[in-house]
A and B are shown apart, each in its own frame.
Chain A
C-alpha cells in the first residue's frame, strides 16, 4: 500500500519533469523574478531620490511583493491543475490506467500517490520561487517578510487545496475541462474575496458575505489572504487608515485556527470524494 503510494508519487513527479512542466514553470518563474527585481530596484531608486516617503515606499513594496507572490501562486495553480487533469482522467481515457490498475494495487493508493506527487511538485515550486522572490526583495529594497515560513506554508496549502479540487474534477470530467474549471473557480473565489473585502470596507454586510461564503466553499482565497498577511510588514497595518481595508493585495488579519481546521477538513473531504468516484469508475 505504502510502496504503491510512493511509487505513484515518484512517477507523478517524474512525469512533471519529463513532460517539461518543470521547465516551463522555471522559465516563467525566472521571468517573473527578473521583472520584479527590476521593479523593486526602480522602487528603491525612487525612494532614495526622495520621490517617495519611507512609508509610501514600504506600502508599495509590500503591495508589490504580494502581487508577485500572487503571480507565483497563479503559476503553481495553473501548473498543478493542468497537470492533475492529464495524469488522472487523461490516463483513464488513453488506457494507461488499465495496465496500472490491473496490478495488485488499490485505486485509492494510486490516487493518493498521484495527489502526493502533485502536492510535492506544487508546494515545492511555491516555496522555492517564494524564497527566491524574498531574496530579490531583500537585495533590492532591504525588506524581509516577518512570517515568511507561515506565509510560504499557507501559499503551499493554497496550491494543495486547488490541486485537490482539480483531482476531484478529473475523476469526473475530461482532463481539459477539469483544468479549466479548477482554475476558473480559483479566479472566481479570488474575485469574490476582493468583492467581500470591498463590502467589508464599506460596511455592507451582504457584499461582505460573498467573500466569506466563497472562502468557505473553496479555501484558496482565504489561505492566500493569510499568506499575504505573513509577507507584509506588521507596522504597515497600524499606519494604514480604514481606506485600505478593501485592498486586494494587502491583508488585515491573520488566519484563525478554525479556518485552518476547516481547510484541512475540506481537503480531506474533497479527496475522499475523489477517491470514492475513482474507486467506482468503470474503466
Chain B
C-alpha cells in the first residue's frame, strides 16, 4: 500500500514527505518483496541495471557490483537469475532494494529463504544501513531477528496496530527470579513491595518496576538477607519480544 502496489480502502499515504500517489515518491525507496522473483532470463547485473534505469538515477556500474558483493553474489554477477536458488534470489532482491541509494528500505521477510549465515549477513546489512541513517521497515515473523535489529516495533493483529513503541517501551518490564529457602515471615511481603510476585516451590518471580530498576534488585536482596532468608540464586530476566507478542495476540483473540 505504501508503495502503491495495493489500493488503500481509505486514508492517505505519505512517503518520504510526498503523497504516495505520486510515483516520484518512490525514487528513494528500496523494496524486497516477500514474493521475490526477478526476470529469470536476465543476469544478476542486468537485473540491477534495469532497476537503476527504472529508478531514474545515475548509479555507476562499480557501485552496482559493490551491492552484489555486499549480498555475496559477486561471483555470480554474470549468471542468469533463472539458475539461482531461492536463497540467492533473495540475496539478489536485497541488492535490488539497496542499489538506488534508498532513504527508506522496505524488507518483507528478508531472510525467509536464507540459511543461518545468510541471516547474519542480512542482519549486518540492516545494522549498517541504520548507521548510515537509512530507515529500514522490516516486516518479519522471526521475532529474534526483530529484537536484534529494530529500534521501534509495531505489532499488528488482524490488520490493526496492537502495540507499538521502542523495544525498551514494549519490553520495559523486567523480572527477577529468586531461589530462596528458609523463608522468614515478611520476606514475601517485602518482595510484593517491589512488584507482583509469582511463586513456584522455592522460586519466586518478581516483576520489577519501570523506574529505579538499578536499585530495586540490590535493595531487595539486601533486605531479604537481613530478614534471614537464604538466597541461592538471583537471576535477572526480561520478557522477550516473543512472549510480549504472544501475550498481545492472545489478549486480542480472547476479546
Contact = CB atoms under 8 A, between A and B. Distances in A.
Nearest to B81: A96
B39 A104 contact: no
A3 B50 CA distance: 11
B97 to A, nearest CB: 8
Interface size on B, as a range, is 20 to 34
Contacts of A95: 33, 35-37
A246 B96 CA distance: 58
Contact of B33 (A14, A98, A105): A98
Interface string A96-108: 1011111111100
A99 B29 CA distance: 11
B5 A102 contact: yes
A18 B19 CA distance: 38
Given A94-B37, A101-B5, A7 B26 contact: no
Contacts, number: 75
Contacts of B3: 101-102
Contact of A106 (B23, B41, B56): B23
A153 B41 CA distance: 31
Interface residues of A, number: 23
A105 B51 contact: no
A15 interface: yes
A3 B56 contact: yes
A3 to B, nearest CB: 7
B25 interface: yes
A7 B41 contact: no
A94 B35 CA distance: 8
Interface string A248-282: 00000000000000000000000000000000101
A282 B26 CA distance: 17
Given A18-B41, A19-B41, A104-B27, A99 B51 contact: yes
Most chain B beta-carbon contacts within 10 A, residue among A11, A15, A104: A104
Contact of B26 (A4, A98, A102): A102
In order of increasing CB-CB distance, the 9 nearest A-B pairs are A95-B35, A18-B41, A103-B54, A102-B31, A98-B33, A95-B37, A282-B6, A104-B26, A283-B5
Interface of B: 3-7, 23-27, 29, 31-33, 35-39, 41-42, 50-51, 53-56, 93, 96, 100, 106
5 contacts: A99-B31, A99-B32, A101-B4, A102-B3, A282-B7
Interface of A: 3-4, 7, 11, 14-15, 18-19, 94-96, 98-106, 280, 282-283
